[in-house]
Amino acid sequence: MLNVGIAQIDVLTGDRRGNQRRVSEWMSQYSAGASNVTAIVLPELWDVGYALERKEELADDEGSSSEEFLSGLAMRYGVWFVGGSVLARSSGRFFNRAQVIDPSGKLVAQYDKAHLVPMFDEPVHLSAGSSRCLFEIGEVTAGCAVCYDLRFCEFIRRYALDGAKVLFLSAQWPHARIEHWSAMLKARAIENMMFVAACNRVGKYGGKSMVIDPSGTVLYEGAEDREEGAFITIDPSSVDVIRSFLKVFEMRRPELY
């Protein structure tokens, strides 16, 4: 069993310390001891929000201060942090970077957003990542994606083909296309027969964070207009059951695609 914590919060633009305080307050309000492995998912760019034009001022060198902050919380509460991307500076370039931190406080994986959003001028300000992020949480293989990645079904399918049973996704998905968000989250869960745990920002953005099982059943759906938190227990072994019944992967014909 795996517990998934969804931290559906608003983000203070350009205020890293303020956002760290908000995450700390969320943890103190919602987090509780559990016997199962627990993974907390934060929104995209939870540290400074979409202030990309101020990247020189706001970017976190290698994401290190955000990593240090989340590492402290991970050790304090005995949880993982998965996703919740930050504005990171690396070798003179800037990335929308998701971090995976284990309960010992160790950064075990990171992922630079591969598909940048033209509507938010991400390609103007950021460099795209060039690799995926597959990791083990407990004994469960999982993958990490960020916001606009959701629209690229081939990208998510690679995770499933490589054994991922859970996809963690962080976002700042707008109100105007929130129905796309809901539909595509369900589609990615169904077509890949995997759990999808997605955390979206509220406030100026659309909320409706979701946890969906491999059959497409919505186990949790957040409100569209308020901050909230939830912990949902999932059973990743059910992925093996549905994949052994619906042999989609074995019946693929990539030579036709």
Whether 153 sits among the annotated catalytic residues: the reply is no
Going by their DSSP bridges, the two strands 60-61 and 80-90 should be labelled as: parallel
Residue 187: enclosing H or E segment and its boundaries? helix 178-192
Where do the domains of the chain lie, and which CATH numbers do they carry?
A: 2-256 (3.60.110.10)
Nearest to 142 by CA among 97, 202, 80, 52: 80
Whether 147 sits among the annotated catalytic residues: the reply is yes
Catalytic residue among 67, 122, 144, 147: 147
Mean pLDDT (whole number) for 194-223: 98
Catalytic residue among 67, 113, 133, 165: 113
> By three-state DSSP, how is residue 8 classified?
strand
- What's the rounded Cα separation, in Å, for the pair 79 and 101? 9
High-pLDDT (> 90) share of the chain, %: 96
Residue 33 has pLDDT above 70, yes or no: no
Whether 165 sits among the annotated catalytic residues: the reply is no
pLDDT score at 34: 63
pLDDT tens string 183-200: 999 999 999 999 999 999
Q: How many CB atoms lie within 10 A of CB 246?
A: 14
